Amino acid sequence: MLGLLNELEEADDKAVSLCITPGLPPQQVEDLLEKALVPHAVAPEIAALLARSGTGAILFWGSSRRLLILPPFPVTGKYIAPGYDLEPLRSQLARPFSIALVLLRLGAFSVGGCQGEKLITRKTGTGLGHARHKKGGSSQSRFARHRERQKDFFLERVCGHIRQQLEPYSPSLDYLVYGGAWTTIHSLREQCPFLRQFEDRTLPPLLNISRPRKSVLEAAIGGIWSSSITEWYESEIPSIDSHQAAV
């Protein structure tokens, strides 16, 4: 990403930059695109993509380079600027954000905290544990109830480990990010009151997480700092009838 920004900094062509904050309705995003660019220069589905982005977007539209970037952290200002305005992205990438990670699949978890890209605390564990249960009803229903109690017991343990690892840092944490199986993460969020304090500083989830372990936790830090980049190439730089984007 820094290499790309250096390339854009050296470009001397005319350009316009558009910063879009997260949470804008699609119509407002479309209006900003129309105001900043040649009408119909970007396909309508791009506006819907930008509206869904949990971190907003930055669009660089020049005569030689045309790029759409979904940054790793939320864009804080909505504006149109002349040239390739690189400062918002440079500021994000230069700041050593404090970030908590909660990676979870049923039966395995990893919890960590990092300063910038450096891991400063972590805890990894496995197992559903064994909740006590009494016999009763059909064997199938007993198994289902036992399995549900095991799940609740496991999530209770995970919540305790999260609090132990993150509570010393919670006042200064900039963001929290979840990764893994979303249904299990959703159950954890419902059952763990400690996590409610981070609801207004939660990044989009990492869903391509394998079974949590130390190496997966370390790799996830790189995923948090990654941007999504779409570039229109020379043959696709739109006339009014050409809307196709290439990655």
Predicted confidence (pLDDT) per residue in 195-229, tens digit: 999 999 999 999 889 899 999 999 999 999 999 99
Total number of domains in the chain: 2
Q: Report yes or no on 247 lying in a domain.
A: no
Q: Report yes or no on 220 lying in a domain.
A: no
pLDDT at 238 over 70: no
Q: How far is Cα 177 from Cα 163, in angstroms, rounded to an integer?
A: 15
Q: Report yes or no on 62 lying in a domain.
A: yes
CATH number at residue 136: 3.30.420.60
Q: Report yes or no on 182 lying in a domain.
A: yes
Q: How far is Cα 224 from Cα 178, in angstroms, rounded to an integer?
A: 10
pLDDT at 131 over 60: no
Q: Report yes or no on 159 lying in a domain.
A: yes
Residues 16 and 44 in one domain: yes
Q: Report yes or no on 137 lying in a domain.
A: yes
Q: How far is Cα 50 from Cα 68, in angstroms, rounded to an integer?
A: 9
The Cα-based distances of 174 to 37, 74, 89, 202 in angstroms read 33, 11, 17, 9
Residues 71 and 110 in one domain: no
pLDDT at 240 over 50: no
Predicted confidence (pLDDT) per residue in 174-199, tens digit: 999 999 999 999 999 999 999 999 99
Q: What value does the mean pLDDT of the chain take?
A: 86
Can you give the residue range of the structural domain that contains 198? 98-212
Q: Are 209 and 222 in contact (CB under 8 A)?
A: no
| DSSP H or E stretch at residue 34 | helix 26-36
More confident: 238 or 96: 96
Residues 86 and 109 in one domain: no
